[in-house]
Amino acid sequence: MLVSTLLRHARSAGIVRIHGTAYSTNKAMIDLARKLGFAVISVPSDATILELALSLACDECAPLKG
């Protein structure tokens, strides 16, 4: 719920993209990121890290939950 609230505030403040990283073994974080609509992207140079990215600029995007 906290992350959803932060993302809604970021969108309303005009932030257009959120980036983050997670350990590839952190299943709970990866599952949460996917549930919130983040793309989960492999980092070719480091198999232990995943990049998380979410566009907040899309007018047609589903509203963020929370």
Q: Which CA distances in Å does 16 have to 31, 32, 49, 50?
A: 22, 20, 23, 20
Give the number of domains in the chain: 1
CB 52 within 8 A of CB 38: yes
Q: How long, in residues, is the chain?
A: 66
pLDDT in tens, 1-57: 888 899 889 988 999 999 999 999 999 999 999 999 999 999 999 999 999 999 988
User: How sure is the predictor about 62, in pLDDT bands with cuts at 50, 70 and 90?
Assistant: low
Predicted local distance difference test score (pLDDT) of residue 59: 55
Residue 32 domain boundaries = 2-55
pTM of whole model > 0.85? no
CB contact set of 49 (below 8 Å; sequence gap of 6+): 21, 22, 23, 24, 43
Q: Is residue 64 part of a domain?
A: no
Q: Is residue 21 part of a domain?
A: yes
Q: Is 15 in a helix, a strand, or coil?
A: coil
Q: Is residue 65 part of a domain?
A: no
